[in-house]
Amino acid sequence: MRTAQAKAGWLSGAVALGLVLAGCGGGDDGGSELTVWIMEPGNPEVQATIDGFAEAFEAEHEGVEVTVEYVPWTEAHTQLTTALAGGQVPDLTEVGNTMTAEFAEAGAFAEVTPPEGVEFVEGLAESSVVDGVNYGYPWYAGARALIYRTDIFDQAGVAVPQTWDDLLAVGDTIAEQVDSIDPLHVAGAYQHMNQPLIWGTGGDIAVQNGETWTPGFNTPEGRQALEFFLTLWERGWTPEGGVHWNSVDVRDAFANEESAMMIGGGWDLRAILDSNPSLADRVGTALMPAGPAGSRDVFAGGSHLAVFQESDEPELAKQFAEFLIAPEQATAFAEQIGFLPGTVAGVQAAVGGDELFGVFGEQFIEHSRAYPVAGWWGAVEGSGAIPGEFQKLMLGDVTVDEAAANIDAAIQGAIG
């Protein structure tokens, strides 16, 4: 009995080893294999769509086998890091546009040239260019705008706010005129609403001058942005738990008819209408109100497709990437996940003329930009320092001046 078991053990071990060796030597059957990583937003339909694209591509290219592997978004950074450290990289990967520069600077990605004659949305396209070299195909993205309740606005007799001052005034009027609803909620862990406020005052998160980066929160503009955020919080419109809230909490509150305005993306509005369809004829959208410097810019958050430097099939990987970002595929996919394709034409095809969602397209094309396109940005996000300082500000642990100085110290620490 014992020897039989031992034999079985040896045998299975040998088989496993054989399989591993066979795996290493794969791809010798004349055809080409392409391994692609796609980030998984937790929606099973997305997998079906992407698998369909892979099959269509295989049908067009004889002898090509595309293997799509899905990586959860929360694991994206770790998976890419591990793959790179272990030298086991796919040929092509989707990568969040805040991470592209980090991996590009580490030498992970190959230079690619997006197809000519296509106008890409700048906010997304600029975030794949490091030191003048482009490392990604702009795939899809989204931008946040103002989502508001038309019925509450009518009741309070207010118009859509065009500036930050308007926003405060409209909020005050709603607080005065309408019971049982908060004008607007802010959230400590909603970094993509909070940190872009600095663009509204004419500042920047960090400014590049040649080789050097200088953090920008500890400046008059940076402090003015923090001051505005603090004002929104100190109005008392947000429950005290807002310190710990994130974008989903803000959205849930809006869907539960507890707030009259929120800053959110098209995907937020879809989720809101899904959970509370009765809001369909009572919501409106508008561009993000302009800050004192006149800018309405918000964060252009999305994805690139990047080819790995170590890929055995770089040309094929580029072809598949171009296939995915082609209008037909990109528009279908972006719409499915509530985002917008990365081309101006694609955005217009997707939401142009739409009363509700058209605004998100305009916001994305005209008024969005990227976070600092630099390898160190990943460490800033990883440190959680910026949302942390916003939370401390809300708790009264720090003053605006201290928060500004702390944020800059954290950014400087990451720059090195």
Partner 1 sequence: MPRSRARSVSGDVPSVSARRPRSVRRSFDDKLLPVLLVTPALVVIAGLVGYPVLRTGWLSLTDADGLRALTDGEMAFIGLGNYLRILEDPVLRRVSLVTVGFGLACVAATMVVGVAVALLLNRRFRGRGVLAVLVLLPWAIPNVAASFVWKWIFHDQYGILNWALGLDGFAWFNHWLTAFAVIGVVVVWQSFPFVAVALLAGLQTIPGEVIDAARVDGAGGWQQLWRIRLPMLKPLLLVLVVISTIWDFKVFDQVYVLTEGDPTRRNEVLAVSIWREAIAQLHIGLGSALAMVLFLILILFTIGYVWLAREQA
The footprint of partner 1 (CB under 8 A) covers 77-78, 81, 84-85, 102-103, 105-108, 188-189, 239-241, 243-244, 249, 252-253, 258, 375, 378-379, 381-384, 387-388, 391-392, 395, 397, 414
Identify the burial level of 90 via C-beta atoms within 10 angstroms of its C-beta, where 0-12 means exposed, 13-18 middle and 19 or more buried. buried
Q: Least CB distance from residue 22 to partner 1, whole Å?
A: 23
Q: Least CB distance from residue 240 to partner 1, whole Å?
A: 5
With contact defined as beta carbons under 8 Å apart, do 368 and 121 qualify? yes
With contact defined as beta carbons under 8 Å apart, do 205 and 195 qualify? yes
Residue 261 phi, psi dihedral angles, 5° rounding? -140, 150
Cα–Cα distance for residue pair 134/111, rounded to 1 Å: 6
What residues have CB less than 8 Å from 317, skipping those under 6 apart? 34, 36, 91, 92, 307, 308, 311
With contact defined as beta carbons under 8 Å apart, do 202 and 295 qualify? yes
Q: Least CB distance from residue 42 to partner 1, whole Å?
A: 14
| Choice between 220 and 384, CB closer to partner 1 | 384
Q: Least CB distance from residue 357 to partner 1, whole Å?
A: 28
| Choice between 18 and 384, CB closer to partner 1 | 384
| Choice between 81 and 214, CB closer to partner 1 | 81
| Choice between 171 and 242, CB closer to partner 1 | 242
| Choice between 103 and 153, CB closer to partner 1 | 103
Which residues, listed in sequence order, are joined to residue 137 by a DSSP beta bridge?
305
| Choice between 108 and 178, CB closer to partner 1 | 108
Which residues, listed in sequence order, are joined to residue 215 by a DSSP beta bridge?
206
Q: Least CB distance from residue 39 to partner 1, whole Å?
A: 17
Length of the chain: 416
Q: Least CB distance from residue 3 to partner 1, whole Å?
A: 15
Q: Least CB distance from residue 388 to partner 1, whole Å?
A: 6
Q: Least CB distance from residue 96 to partner 1, whole Å?
A: 14
Cα–Cα distance for residue pair 227/188, rounded to 1 Å: 14
Helices and strands (DSSP H and E) totals, the chain: 19, 16
Residue 69 phi, psi dihedral angles, 5° rounding? -115, 135
CA angle 278, 282, 285 (to 5 degrees): 125
**C-alpha 243: how far from its chain's center?**
22
Residue 283 phi, psi dihedral angles, 5° rounding? -115, 150
Handedness of CA 214, 216, 219, 221 (dihedral sign): positive
In the numeric block, the tokens 């642990």 are attached to 397
Cα–Cα distance for residue pair 141/266, rounded to 1 Å: 10
| Choice between 266 and 388, CB closer to partner 1 | 388
Our CA dihedral for 383, 262, 140, 54, rounded to 10 degrees, sits at 100
Token pair listed for 151: 């019925």
Q: Least CB distance from residue 94 to partner 1, whole Å?
A: 18
What residues have CB less than 8 Å from 49, skipping those under 6 apart? 332, 333, 336
Q: Least CB distance from residue 252 to partner 1, whole Å?
A: 8
Cα–Cα distance for residue pair 207/209, rounded to 1 Å: 7
Q: Least CB distance from residue 380 to partner 1, whole Å?
A: 9
With contact defined as beta carbons under 8 Å apart, do 109 and 80 qualify? no
